[in-house]
């Protein structure tokens, strides 16, 4: 099954890190990503620019509304993701728990919808 | 051999959960299909047994029937270009059917029901739904019975159960006994489910029978399995202890006419000495493992009752103190009610009555027959007969099992 591991974190936390701390964390991310490549679970993964760069688009009554910022103001923001292949939820949870930001933020694990499954 | 309807009913009660558990495994974790197939197998038995006679191994027969139906269904569903997992299910089913002669295959996967229990108690499911799902699927309680245990309308419960089954399928919650590190994360839900299963068996919420020994036996079996899986977890030992100590009294608890016999009137020579002994040993083990949680306290209370040779030897002071601790650790109206009863025994009925009145004033437990029943009992002991009679009548309006109704009616007659 495919799962999206969404990394939510208070993005201010990255501003609070010293250069050394940032370097160390990025190093941990590199190691983690490498382990996914080796383990065969990696499909895709990206980090996002912080929320001030976000634009939200809605269509209401046929009209497009474009607004500055993310969809909702929350304490934690979506900062990046991994798309992985895992045997089951437990394996996906195990992967998610090894993401460095799991220690400071939270990782939402969501299965990717399998369109063929409900069509049998 | 007893007549087929009672054998079928007995098999349903004792083995429904285990048959479903096995089916879920061979169906690759598909809860809904497994339940349907087992239902169909029982319907087939209803048709065939009266004609062809009861098979020598009823549950093996049912398991085989359910699996045959599963093979049919999967074969029908599998098309050209079928998905890998469908083919895997089919291969697994056919292999199981060809390799297992009737009657012997039952022992092949003794841990299926534990696998089911741990799946129901996966932390990705909300805690109250974990337990509800376990009671429904593993214990074969009806949706109505589960709804009653959780005090919600049946339609709400049905919806929650369907949603949970869907999440298990769509989120890919695996059908396995987890590795040790994940095991402890699920222990709470597992213990709670076993506890509720036993409670449902020990004091059935509805019907003619006071006890459903089959449910109690299954709860004990699961508690023993959990104990062997988690040997260093003190609360597991405590739960097993508590279940053993209660179970040891079950024969003394029901009178010859099926009526309820309260603790102080039970023939203590009918208590199962081996179970008492084992229960006390498990409590020792729980203490040795440093456990002092809700199950340990309840086991300790049960142990104090078990150790009293006569009712008047019961250490009520100690029991009231333990209930006090329990109400701090696991607060709840039922605990309060039990504490009131213990305080009444330790200090006198007027002290207990004050606690019961507080509880009643709080507006909790308004539909629970044991609240007015306890109040009635204390009023009776205080000689306030008219008030006692009113309280017995209120309890009678709420009671749902026949033996308890008879018990309350008898008491009412004593005070009017």
What's the ipTM?
A: 0.81
A87 at the B interface (CB within 8 A)? yes
B56 to chain A, any CB pair closer than 8 A? The answer is no
* Residue whose C-alpha is closest to residue B41's, from B7, B64, B9: B64
Residues of A in contact with B174 (CB under 8 A): 87-90
Judge: A90–B83 Cβ closer than 8 Å, yes or no.
Answer: no
Cα(A79)–Cα(A13) distance, rounded to whole angstroms? 11
To the nearest whole Å, the CA of A67 is away from the closest chain B CA by: 33
CA distance B248 to chain A (A): 39
Say if B176 is an interface residue toward chain A (CB within 8 Å): yes
Q: Does B122 touch chain A (CB under 8 A)?
A: yes
Q: Where are the alpha helices (DSSP H) in B330-399?
A: 333-347, 349-361, 370-381, 385-398
Cβ contact, residue pair B174, A87, below 8 Å: yes
Nearest to B86 by CA among A116, A25, A13, A95: A116
- Calpha distance B130→B111 (Å, rounded): 19
A62, containing H or E segment: none
pLDDT value at B103 more than 50: no
Question: Residue B104: pLDDT band by 50, 70, 90 thresholds?
Answer: very low
pLDDT at B355 over 70: yes
- CB within 8 Å of B286: residues ≥ 6 apart: B234, B235, B237, B238, B241, B295, B296, B299
SS3 call for A33: helix
R_g over Cα of chain B: 23
Task: Inspect the interface and report whether the beta carbons of A116 and B83 lie closer than 8 Å.
Answer: yes
Per-residue pLDDT at B59: 85
Q: Please check whether residue B124 touches A, CB under 8 A.
A: yes
A6: phi then psi, degrees, rounded to nearest 5? -100, 125
Give yes or no for residue B3 having a pLDDT over 80: no
| CA nearest to A113 within chain B | B170
Q: Is A118 on the interface with B (CB under 8 A)?
A: no
| Mean pLDDT value of segment B179-204 | 81
Q: Using the beta-carbon criterion (under 8 Å), do B173 and A86 form an inter-chain contact?
A: no
- Across B299-320, average pLDDT: 95
DSSP code of residue A51: G
Identify which of B115, B162, B170 has the alpha carbon closest to the alpha carbon of residue B138: B115
Chain B partners within 8 Å of A86 (Cβ)? 172
Average pLDDT value for residue range A94-115: 92
Mean pLDDT for chain B?
87
Alpha carbon B82 to its chain centroid, in Å, reads: 40
In percent, the amount of chain B with pLDDT more than 70 equals 92
Model pLDDT, residue B31: 86
Residues facing residue A5 across a β-bridge: A82, A109
CB B143 within 8 A of CB B35: no
Give me the pLDDT at residue B378, please.
95
Q: How far is CA B256 from CA B138, B252, B259, B260, B407, in A?
A: 31, 10, 7, 10, 13
Nearest CA-CA distance, residue B72 and chain A, Å = 15
Most confident of A24-28, B20-24, B64-68, B76-80: A24-28
pLDDT digits (tens, 9 = 90+) for A2-59: 999 999 999 888 889 999 999 999 999 999 999 999 998 999 999 999 888 888 888 8
CA distances from A49 to A73, A81, A110, B14, B208 (A): 16, 12, 21, 58, 66
Question: B180-186 long-range CB contacts below 8 Å, 24 or more apart?
Answer: B182/A90, B183/B118, B183/B229, B183/B230, B184/B230, B184/B233, B185/B123, B186/B118, B186/B121, B186/B122, B186/B123
Residue A116 contacts B, CB cutoff 8 Å: yes
Would the pLDDT of B84 be above 70? no
In this complex, which of A86, A89, A117 lies closest to B124 when CB atoms are compared?
Answer: A89
pLDDT for position B343: 96
- Predicted confidence band of residue A120 (pLDDT cuts 50, 70, 90): very low
Q: What is the pLDDT at residue B377?
A: 93
Beta bridge partners, B401, equal B207
Is A84 within 8 Å of chain B by CB?
Answer: no
Q: What is the pLDDT of residue B208?
A: 59
User: Which member of A3, A88, A116 has the closest CB to residue B174?
Assistant: A88
Write out chain A residues lying below 8 Å of B166, CB-based: none
Residue B310 has pLDDT above 60, yes or no: yes
Q: How far apart are CA B109 and CA A80, in angstroms?
A: 43
Per the DSSP assignment, residues forming a β-bridge with B246 are none
Does any CB of chain A come closer than 8 Å to the CB of residue B87? no
Looking at per-residue pLDDT, the higher value among A60 and B364 belongs to: A60
| Cα B311 to Cα B261: distance, rounded to the nearest angstrom | 13
Task: Tell me how far apart the alpha carbons of residues B332 and B25 are, in angstroms, rounded to a whole number.
Answer: 37
Q: What is the mean pLDDT of residues B231-259?
A: 92
Chain B CB within 8 Å of residue A89 CB: yes
């Amino acid at each position: 099954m495919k799962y999206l591991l969404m990394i939510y974190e208070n993005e201010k936390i990255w501003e609070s890190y010293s250069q050394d701390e940032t370097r160390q964390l990025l190093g941990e991310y590199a190691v983690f990503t490498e382990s996914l490549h080796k383990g065969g679970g990696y499909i895709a993964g990206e980090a996002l620019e912080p929320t001030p760069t976000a634009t939200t688009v809605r269509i209401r009554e046929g009209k497009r509304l474009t607004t500055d910022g993310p969809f909702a103001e929350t304490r934690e923001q979506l900062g990046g993701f991994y798309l992985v292949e895992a045997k089951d939820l437990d394996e996906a949870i195990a992967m998610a728990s090894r993401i460095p930001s799991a220690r400071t933020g939270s990782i939402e694990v969501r299965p990717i919808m399998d369109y063929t499954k409900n069509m049998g | 051999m007893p007549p087929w309807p009672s054998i079928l009913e007995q098999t349903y009660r004792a083995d429904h959960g285990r048959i479903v558990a096995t089916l879920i495994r061979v169906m690759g974790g598909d809860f809904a299909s497994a339940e349907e197939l087992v239902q169909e197998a029982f319907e087939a038995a209803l048709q065939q047994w009266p004609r062809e006679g009861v098979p020598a191994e009823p549950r093996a027969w049912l398991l085989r029937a359910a699996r045959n139906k599963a093979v049919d269904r999967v074969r029908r569903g599998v098309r050209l270009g079928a998905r890998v997992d469908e083919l895997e299910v089919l291969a697994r089913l056919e292999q199981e059917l060809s390799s297992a002669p009737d009657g012997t295959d039952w022992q092949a996967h003794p841990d299926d029901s534990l696998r089911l229990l741990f799946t129901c108690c996966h932390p990705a499911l909300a805690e109250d739904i974990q337990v509800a799902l376990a009671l429904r699927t593993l214990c074969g309680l009806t949706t109505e019975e589960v709804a009653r245990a959780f005090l919600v309308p049946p339609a709400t419960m049905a919806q929650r159960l369907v949603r949970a089954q869907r999440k298990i399928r769509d989120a890919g919650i695996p059908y396995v006994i987890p590795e040790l590190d994940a095991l402890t994360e699920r222990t709470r839900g597992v213990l709670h489910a076993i506890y509720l299963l036993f409670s449902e068996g020990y004091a059935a919420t509805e019907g003619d029978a006071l006890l459903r020994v089959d449910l109690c036996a299954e709860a004990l079996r699961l508690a023993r399995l959990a104990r062997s899986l988690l040997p260093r977890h003190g609360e597991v030992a405590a739960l097993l202890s508590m279940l053993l100590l209660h179970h040891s009294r079950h024969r003394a608890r029901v009178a010859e006419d099926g009526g309820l016999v309260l603790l102080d009137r039970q023939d203590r020579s009918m208590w199962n000495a081996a179970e008492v002994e084992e229960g006390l040993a498990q409590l020792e083990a729980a203490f040795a493992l440093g456990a002092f949680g809700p199950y340990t306290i309840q086991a300790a209370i049960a142990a104090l009752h078990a150790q009293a040779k006569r009712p008047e030897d019961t250490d009520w002071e100690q029991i009231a103190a333990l209930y006090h601790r329990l109400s701090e650790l696991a607060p709840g109206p039922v605990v309060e009610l039990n504490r009131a009863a213990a305080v009444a025994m330790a200090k006198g009925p007027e002290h207990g009555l004050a606690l019961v009145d507080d509880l009643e004033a709080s507006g909790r437990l308004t539909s629970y027959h044991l609240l007015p029943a306890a109040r009635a009992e204390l009023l009776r002991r205080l000689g306030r007969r008219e008030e006692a009679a009113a309280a017995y009548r209120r309890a009678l309006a709420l009671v749902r099992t026949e033996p308890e109704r008879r018990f309350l009616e008898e008491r009412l007659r004593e005070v009017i």
